């Protein structure tokens, strides 16, 4: 399975992937704006606190790993869509992470996780 190199990703997207794979919750949360939201299969978590609780229960806390298998970007570059393969103690299988970046592309303002 191909794995897209993280050096080709925007800084907050790269941080999200690398932090996930090194199980670094603090670094993972630092990729998100303070008021960011995360929608996981229709359930929405608002702010870094709720995103952290979600990650403890369903992502880093269960040692999930992300292999990025594809990347697309919107024309303006503020939306990045990752095709991923997730493995670990939680969900396992392919998925799509759609990330909305802040205007300066310094933060993730929304992450939508879908099949």
Residue 1 in any domain: the answer is no
Length of the chain equals: 115
pLDDT at site 49? 98
Domain around 40 = 6-114
The CATH number covering residue 43 comes to 3.10.450.50
Which stretches in the chain have pLDDT values below 70? Answer: 1-3, 5-6
d(CA 76, CA 73): 8
Instruction: Tell whether 34 is covered by a domain.
Output: yes
Please give the Cα distance from 70 to 98 (Å, whole number).
12
Residue 99 lies in a domain: yes
Residue at 64 is within a domain: yes
Q: Please report whether residue 74 resides in a domain.
A: yes
pTM (2 decimals)?
0.93
**Considering the domain boundaries, does residue 72 fall inside one?**
yes
Q: Residue 7's pLDDT is what? A: 73
**How high is the pLDDT of residue 16?**
98
Q: Contact at 8 Å (CB) between 13 and 105?
A: no
Residue 83, in any domain of the structure: yes
Domain count, the chain: 1
């Amino acid at each position: 399975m191909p794995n897209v190199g993280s050096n080709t990703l925007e800084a907050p997207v790269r941080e999200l992937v690398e932090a996930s794979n090194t199980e670094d919750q603090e670094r993972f949360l630092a990729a998100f704006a303070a008021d960011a939201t995360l929608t996981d299969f229709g359930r929405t978590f608002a702010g870094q606190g709720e995103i952290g609780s979600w990650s403890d229960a369903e992502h880093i806390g269960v040692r999930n790993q992300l292999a990025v298998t594809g990347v697309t970007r919107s024309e303006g570059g503020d939306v990045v869509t990752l095709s991923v393969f997730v493995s670990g103690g939680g969900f396992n299988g392919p998925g799509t992470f759609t990330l909305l970046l802040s205007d300066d592309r310094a933060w993730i303002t929304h992450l939508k996780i879908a099949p």
